[in-house]
């Protein structure tokens, strides 16, 4: 399991006083401010969210120490992480994306299908992206109990019941 979890990503600067757009990856987007200092991917900088508010199609955050647009602009696209032990335990049938990436995907008949490389949410529910066994291309599947009846994080695998024709031999 990952030692740190990506909980947010800084977007563009918002306004002239150092606020930034923030994409929260937490189940409750406002919870991202409750986890204390957030660390950059390389661990060289930390940020604390002083305030967080919803806007039309995004969240706006004021980060401690960021008070002008120029500084805010330099932070664009930074991913922010928190130590896993500061996050709540996942509920039953709830998973941290970081725990799913890298899991082996096998069919219900046991044949290897590939590896989970990403989880996406385009607004209609989570989508698993799998790199197919022995191939470069990927396939996307809905992350539903019908398509993914078994998630075994401890065993490092998921069982897939794919729709017909998704995996070509």
Which residue, of 37, 53, 86, is where some domain finishes?
86
* 53 in a structural domain: yes
* 168 in a structural domain: no
| Reduced 3-state DSSP string for 104-162 | EEEECCCCEEEEEEEEEECCCCEEEEEEECCCCCEEEEECCCCCCCEEECCCCEEEECC
Q: Which residues contact 109 (CB under 8 A, 6 or more apart)?
A: none
Q: Are residues 136 and 66 in the same domain?
A: no
Instruction: With beta carbons less than 8 A apart as the criterion, state whether 66 and 72 touch.
Output: yes
* 165 in a structural domain: no
| Number of domains into which the chain is organized | 2
Is residue 135 predicted with pLDDT exceeding 80? yes
Q: Are residues 45 and 108 in the same domain?
A: no
Q: Are residues 116 and 81 in the same domain?
A: no
C-alpha angle 97-44-68 in degrees, rounded to nearest 5: 95
Q: Which of 27-31, 63-67, 163-167 has the highest mean pLDDT?
A: 63-67
* Tens-digit pLDDT profile for residues 94-115: 888 889 999 999 999 999 999 9
* 18 in a structural domain: yes
pLDDT band at 124 (very low <50, low <70, confident <90, very high): confident
Range of the structural domain that residue 31 is part of: 4-86
- What local confidence, expressed as pLDDT, does residue 13 receive? 98
* Tens-digit pLDDT profile for residues 19-48: 999 999 888 899 999 999 999 999 999 999
Work out the burial of residue 1: count CB atoms within 10 Å of its CB; fewer than 13 is exposed, 13-18 middle, 19 or more buried. exposed
C-alpha angle 115-139-137 in degrees, rounded to nearest 5: 80
* 166 in a structural domain: no
* 125 in a structural domain: yes
Whole-model pTM over 0.85: no
């Amino acid at each position: 399991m990952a030692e740190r979890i990506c909980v947010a990503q800084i977007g563009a600067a918002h306004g002239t006083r150092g606020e930034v757009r923030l994409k929260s990856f937490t189940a409750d987007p406002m919870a991202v401010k409750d986890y204390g200092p957030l660390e950059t991917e390389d661990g060289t900088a930390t940020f604390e969210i002083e305030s967080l508010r919803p806007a039309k199609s995004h969240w706006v955050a004021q980060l401690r120490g960021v008070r002008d647009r120029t500084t805010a602009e330099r932070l664009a696209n930074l991913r922010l992480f928190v130590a896993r032990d500061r996050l709540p335990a996942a509920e039953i049938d709830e998973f941290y994306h970081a725990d799913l990436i890298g899991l082996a995907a096998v069919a219900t008949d046991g044949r290897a299908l590939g590896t989970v490389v990403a989880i996406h949410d385009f607004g209609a529910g989570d989508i698993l992206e799998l790199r197919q066994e022995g191939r470069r291309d990927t396939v996307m599947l809905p992350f539903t109990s019908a398509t993914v009846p078994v998630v075994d994080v401890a065993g490092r695998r998921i069982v897939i019941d794919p729709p017909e024709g998704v995996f070509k031999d």
